[in-house]
Structure 1
Amino acid sequence: MQKLVDGDFTLAQAASSLGLSNRQVIRLKKGFIQEGPAVLIHKNTNCKPAHALGDELAAKIISLKQSELYRDANFLHFQELLSRHENITISYSALHSLLTKAKIQSPKKRRRFKPHRRRKRKLQEGLLIQMDATPFEWFGSGDKYALHGAIDDATGKIVGLYLTKNECLMGYWEVTRQIVLNHGIPVSLYTDRHAIFLSTVATRLSVEDQLAGKVINDTQFGRAMNELGITIIPARSPQAKGRVERLWETLQSRLPIEFKLAGISTIDQANEFLLKYIPLFNQMFAVEPVNAVSAFRTVSSKLNIDTVLCVKLTRSVDAGGVFSFYNKHFKVITKPSLPLLPPKAKISVLVSPHIGIAVEWKLQLYPVLPYIKPVKKEPVAPSSKQKSTWRPPDSHYYKYGHTLINKVSFEDTDKDILAMLESIFLCKYA
């Protein structure tokens, strides 16, 4: 810069050597003349940016990440938890830089990228719902519980979550209940080939059997979906329904921490929490569908969801309205507003936790009560006359009489024996 001032370099030569524009070199020359070499140092050198994190806040964030509550949270989830529970707002890039410099790694492992064909999302919300269940240690107690869930293929929205001890029919029915009541009736469900959805006998049908018209009875879940008009599409691999499989990976990373922060340790508490958590999750991860028109069908006011999502078995009533069910008897309770059941009528017995046990006949619902059938008294056979035999009394000598007579004892003294002998042998005879 001094050579420029002295005239040893031209303006163009200085700009080319410094890699600056001519205007910038003119400004630097003017400042150098007025203020000296200090003008060449940037004014922000050794100055902390105004928007930089404070040392106390940075230390607090690092301490929270290393605590037991947030230790297992990945960086993105930790950013959300800081905003929701700690009132700390920080960008993901700043948080990632801060934690990385502190040598803290995200617990979410990154696997090697594998190229694969992505199936395009459905165009409308409600056209396809992917449904599945996953066992996991949600409470960190070492016990695994099955989380049943469903996700919309077009938007990625969670439309139902329900936790049970094991993967079961009730869990899927509760998820379906949430879908129908909160969104409507979807067009189809994409599931695996579990026996809850597809009968195990159905896979054994040959082409000849199908051409011959042989039909396999639906499972209870399949029967319920037929009544709702929902098509079940069984997948042949987990990759086919990859959207719900990726949902489990996300929830297994997030929900245990959410349960820990909320103090949740039971299934009932978890199911109550999940109803509030679903909107938060959808707000974070859901996308807009290509077609904004929803494909969910409106639920009819005449539809009683409790009579659909239940076990239905066929039985016959007798002349008194009594039927047998699992080795127990029940009596159908008739009301003036309900038609009378004829003898031998074929009824549908409905069983579910929501309605207990009820009877359906010609679309009418009847309550039932336990019934104990009277037990018939078995006829007593006439007693045959028994022969009477004479038995001696207890005082008879040959039976017990010998016990009544004093036995001779040789423990008597010699004096007594001699007196007895004198009375016998030395007595006077007439």
Structure 2
Amino acid sequence: MVLHIMSDKELSRLEVLRDLSAGRLTVSAAAELMGLERRQVQRLAKAYQAQGATALISKKRGQPSNRQMPETLKSQTLAIIRERYADFGPTLAAEKLREVHDITIGRETLRLWMLEAGLWADRQKRRGRVYQPRYRRECVGELVQVDGSEHWWFEDRGPQCTLLVFIDDATSRLMHLQFVQSESTFAYFNATQRYLEQHGKPIAFYTDKHAVFRVNKAAGLHGDGMTQFGRAL
């Protein structure tokens, strides 16, 4: 037993042809309902009488499209993109394929191939997370950014060390600079004390996620959640 699958359009035409065969519709009325010419309706009606409902099923169903690209061309194209144009988008990759490799592929076709092969991400996936901007504070001393930068500050004239920096958020002014051996709790204690002696206490310090300022280990979250630096402040 062969199972035939019909589309909604084909099922609708089948109902019209049944009514036409039963004399409930004229050829003109059937043509209007199906959106066809009278000759097309007559041809369909003749095929329906000879073959039944299967005459209405498209002969192209299940067959590859005449416009479908050969699988070998697809494989070759994707191999070239992986090797030479992995960081290109579909539009630029299509241009390079045409200019350099004499391969002409439509941009949309190439985009679908690259999506399928994982060589391109759609707009939603490429769009990064949007962060709300943090606006500068209005007054000097309202917020002070604290950070450390390890570098060969003295080139070969001295050992590698860390520069601790205190920057006023409102004015971007360097409030305090201090070279230390490493970015440690005691180094920040000393630098913060000097800052407070020179400029007084700010409303808040703004720091990164360094272990001096934040508890980053899960095992340490069972306490008060503060580091030694936080307790000292």
Give the TM bin, normalised by the shorter chain: 0.3 to 0.5
More helix by share: 2
TM-score (norm 2): 0.38
TM-score (norm 1): 0.22
Q: Which has the higher contact order (CA 8 A, sep 6+)?
A: 1
